[in-house]
A and B are shown apart, each in its own frame.
Chain A
Amino acid sequence: MRIACVLLLMTSVANAEEAVPDDAWEPRLSAGVGLGYRTGDLAILKPAGGTASGQVELKVRPALFIDASYDHARGTARDELRARDLGITTHTIGLAVRNPLMSFGAKPRELGGEMFATAGLAREWVRWDGGGLARNALMLGVGSTLIAPHERVHRQLRVGFRMLFARAPDPGKRPAGCDGPCDTPTKTAPYDVSFVMEVSCHVGR
């Protein structure tokens, strides 16, 4: 009988330990910095270069976060006709929601991780030798988080991939036409797509 009581107590203690509140798994507020590589289109140009970014994230529900981010990209742009590459710099601020598709880990703040998806809007300012533009963009991304164990602070390493869709600028005197079967001739593809690969470190409470 005593043994049965001890087993029952142990089981109930174990069950109490397992009941981790949903809110305990992720930090309420976190901040991070990252480095990455950005490539894509700017009308007929093909910019590419490194990026540095900063991000602040607020948890609004156990599995829903709002991210505010700033991204600085510096690189060069080229096309088939240009003799030399153009220097190009892009500043991007974005606001996005992030949702973990799948999370894993036995306890909060122990080794674990998640796969996530993000969606949001961004504003980017592009400057190159002799010109510049500002435009809005749609931002979609996916990534993975690795949670590094720590007793007091949430520490995360994220590897992510983002795509930005923005209206392409008018490339000037280029004639409108169709490079494939089409019903609407244009001077260039109507939208530019940029790709950003990024690794970032985050801490939060």
Chain B
Amino acid sequence: MSRRALIAIALVAATADARADNWDATYAFGANVEAIGGEAYSGVMMQIQVWRRLTSRLSLSATAELASAKRDEIEGGVVRGLAGVDLELVRGRPMLVVPALIASVGSGTETIAWDRGTLTRPMSYLGVEYRSSLAIEPGGFLRNLSSFGFRFGVRGHVAPGVAHATVAKLCSACSMEDAPDRGLDLGFVGYMGFVFGR
């Protein structure tokens, strides 16, 4: 993350009023589309995310994802571990639920396991999502929960391309040859899920 981004985050964190101080956890399901070695793969995704609210508008998030990547007869399993910051851009007027629009940015790694062979690479992401949460009063019918909500969003990510993609797919012993320009692989996920506030 750039120094400018870190300064901007620090400014927002310093100026925001410290309203809440809680943990939220979420699971979500969605679609995964990404380029691997310049070729498009697609599949489904399951996401578990935990975030810690630092201020009323800023929170830190940790994300674990399992996804599939399929193209013709080739299918792999994708595991991602991501860390980032979430910034609340807009918060609607509190009614029964509190709607909010969130921007998220961060980075991490992904490992793709094929039937044979693996690929591990760093990645960065930028996303936007809608969340709406309903506050749960303590001592009521619902327990172990301070809020319950719904979220959906989209996220784009970028990762280094794969130098030996063509060679690796055609050989069995994988003798590496001249590395072409790696370039960048772009990816996209869309998801929806539930938020459990603690």
A→B interface (CB under 8 Å): 18-19, 25, 44, 63, 100-106, 114, 142, 174-191, 193
Contact = CB atoms under 8 A, between A and B. Distances in A.
Contacts of B76: 179-180
Interface string B115-130: 1111111000000000
Given A178-B169, A185-B173, A114 B144 contact: yes
Contact of B116 (A18, A114, A183, A186): A186
B139 to A, nearest CB: 6
A143 to B, nearest CB: 13
Given A180-B36, A181-B162, A103 B144 contact: yes
A190 B118 contact: yes
Contact of A184 (B41, B69, B117): B117
A179 B116 CA distance: 5
Contacts of B163: 183
Contacts of A142: 27
B117 A180 contact: yes
A171 to B, nearest CB: 9
Contacts of B188: none
B143 A177 contact: no
Contact of B74 (A177, A180, A185): A180
Contact of A178 (B71, B139, B145, B174): B174
Contacts, number: 119
A63 B116 contact: no
Given A175-B172, A178-B174, A102 B39 contact: no
B141 A106 contact: yes
In order of increasing CB-CB distance, the 7 nearest A-B pairs are: A178-B117, A181-B37, A182-B117, A181-B165, A178-B168, A180-B114, A179-B114
A179 B144 contact: no
A181 B168 contact: yes
B112 interface: yes
28 contacts: A44-B115, A100-B144, A101-B25, A102-B145, A103-B145, A105-B141, A106-B141, A142-B27, A176-B117, A176-B172, A176-B173, A176-B174, A177-B117, A178-B117, A178-B169, A178-B171, A179-B169, A180-B41, A180-B74, A180-B168, A181-B37, A181-B39, A181-B165, A185-B116, A188-B116, A189-B77, A189-B116, A191-B113
Contacts of A101: 25, 144-145, 196
A184 B41 CA distance: 19
A183 B120 contact: yes
B197 to A, nearest CB: 10
A185 B174 contact: yes
A184 B168 CA distance: 9
Interface in B49-73: 69, 71
B143 A103 contact: yes
Interface in B168-185: 168-169, 171-174
A114 B145 CA distance: 11
A116 B116 CA distance: 34
Interface in B125-139: 139
Nearest to A18: B139
Contact of A175 (B74, B144, B173): B173
